[in-house]
Amino acid sequence: MRVSVIDKNKREKVCIVCEQEKAEGIFLFGHFLCVDCHQAIVQTNTDDPNYAFYVQQLRKMMTSKIYS
């Protein structure tokens, strides 16, 4: 499912990996992942130096967005 920047729900579309506002991507656990980063993650081998960066950025998804 792709989401445009102008969305009825007005969800923030800043990629959790590259931290840039993008027009297309998916939401995972309430976080936006752009198409470009999704493709890069899928094509990256575990021995690639960028792999650790992607893992670190994706760990942000596990933090709660609810502030009490």
pLDDT tens digits, one per residue of 3-60: 454 444 567 799 999 999 999 999 998 899 999 999 999 999 999 999 999 999 999 8
pLDDT at 2 over 90: no
Distance CA 47, CA 63 (A): 26
pLDDT value, residue 48: 95
Beta-carbon contacts of residue 57 (< 8 Å; ≥ 6 apart): 16, 17
